[in-house]
Chains A and B, each alone.
Chain A
Amino acid sequence: MNVGILALQGDVREHSEILRRIGVRPVEVRLPKHLAAVDRLIIPGGESTAIGRLLTLYDLIAPLRARAGRDLAIWGTCAGAILLARTVLDMKQGGQPGLEVMDITVRRNAYGSQLDSFELPLNMPVLGDEPLPGVFIRAPQIESVGPTVRVLARLPSGAVVAAQQGRMMATTFHPELTSDDRVHRYFLEL
């Protein structure tokens, strides 16, 4: 198993540290040749507009579209969830590039500015009964999911914050900013 972290921009080190703690040594993916060497990929939190632009410039969109969910298990956190989504709402003016591989609709900055960033324990049944610490930073929200997408977690309001479609997973929060490694372990089994 070769795990990569997309390292164009964002909280790469936080994901890397959690993976190392559970015995996985990830590689940083910036170019197509790095991507070719991995069979699992995490897209970290960051700015979806900046990461999307660099994905396009460095010819990563086509190989990612061809492999995501097939021979490449893929997980996007926050900005990563936006980049995986088939449909993105509240894009920057003029639109922004994404992978459009997962059958979800995601709204950017759904809760407001940084002043509305929040923490909340989450119930994620696939990880057991113990609540998961949820950290939401200028977070997006999954507004709707397609028929083959499984909802993994919701807020008390009903808003979807984690979803899975086969070997693709999106979370709008940041497990990598906590000491709970269960979502990372779940992804490694995907």
Chain B
Amino acid sequence: MEKSTWTTKVGLAQMLKGGVIMDVVTVEQARIAEEAGAVAVMALERVPADIRAQGGVARMSDPELIAAIKAAVTIPVMAKARIGHFVEAQVIEVLGIDYIDESEVLTPADEEYHINKHKFTIPFVCGCRNLGEALRRLAEGAAMLRTKGEAGTGNVVEAVRHFRTVQGDIRRLQSMDEDELFTAAKNLQAPYELVKQVAASGRLPVVNFAAGGIATPADAALMMQLGVDGVFVGSGIFKSGNPMQRARAIVEATTHYRDAEIIARVSKGLGEAMVGINIDQIPAEQLMAKRGW
């Protein structure tokens, strides 16, 4: 019997497809998420909108909170470690949860090196803004990707930009002949073997979810129609007027993402969405998506 193989690491992400992963900061929120049909929860101390508002250094959550959330639900539990903070990752791994997010939403611990994720038995999800970044994370051992978007804004524009960029990069590779792929790998700053694989298959080798700014059922369906495998919703649910109803509606819109009648029905009377932030009003040094490289 072989445990924690590459197939099982990538495989759990494959089982989450077509689903919604929700940020939760309490046991009660985790229960609401499970009840609403989330496929997994991300256990956090503060949602990105609060991290953005309160400032300071954002770190791994208290292991006690992560353990309490794990005990409260039967669906997979994820938690975030700082970029490059391999000891936070070691701590999360021994808690026996299901996935680690090496996340730009927390303050990076290393400005040069990401975590060597091959050294862990727990699988990792990492953020990306373009294909080069995606393939560098895969080379380091990430088993799942998410396009970064801009967390804590309730503004889907960056999620769209990052996913369209990845897709555009893939389409350009597909149009190249074999000779051109060597230089493409150099320009993408990504391993040639992965570049060749993506050029041949026309898609990323692992599951890719959208994240960072999804606040409504229509936002979730937009990302699904663009071609992502599922969505992370962070501040969008528990910073809104009626979290349970909004969580359910986003789950239904993610499943029925091509059915505008269903999206219209579940979007009715949801109450207030989280207050959004326009990206150009955020000081450049506070943009989270720029963290990681």
Residues of A within 8 A of B (CB): 7-14, 30, 45-47, 49-50, 53-54, 57, 78-79, 90-94, 108-109, 112-120, 135-138, 174, 177
Contacts and interface: CB of A to CB of B under 8 A. Distances in A.
B25 interface: no
Contacts of B122: 114-115
Contacts of B19: 9-10, 46-47, 50
Contacts of A7: 18, 255
B75 interface: yes
Given A92-B73, A115-B3, A115-B121, A8 B8 contact: no
Nearest to B18: A9
A58 B76 CA distance: 24
B122 to A, nearest CB: 6
A135 B19 CA distance: 21
Contacts of B93: 115
B175 interface: no
B74 A117 contact: no
B15 A45 contact: yes
Nearest to B11: A137
A91 B15 contact: no
Nearest to A93: B31
A115 to B, nearest CB: 6
B39 A9 contact: yes
B34 interface: yes
Contacts of B256: 30
Residue among B3, B11, B251 with the highest chain A CB neighbour number at 10 A: B11
A49 B11 contact: no
Interface string B150-188: 000000000000000000000000000000000000000
A177 B39 contact: no
A92 B39 CA distance: 12
- Rank and list the top 3 A-B pairs by shortest CB-CB distance, nearest first: A117-B8, A114-B98, A9-B18
Contacts of B8: 114, 117-119, 135-137
Nearest to A177: B11
B76 to A, nearest CB: 7
A185 B123 CA distance: 32
Given A46-B15, A117-B11, A120-B1, A54 B39 contact: no
Nearest to B10: A177
A47 B17 contact: no
B98 A138 contact: yes
B96 interface: yes
Contacts of B38: 50
Contacts of A49: 34, 37, 74-75
Contacts of B222: none
B64 interface: no
A99 B268 CA distance: 30
A114 B34 contact: no
A45 B14 contact: yes
B2 A54 contact: no
B7 A10 contact: no
Given A49-B74, A49-B75, A138-B98, A114 B123 contact: yes
Contacts of B17: 9-13, 46
A155 to B, nearest CB: 9
A47 B19 CA distance: 9
Interface in B121-168: 121-123
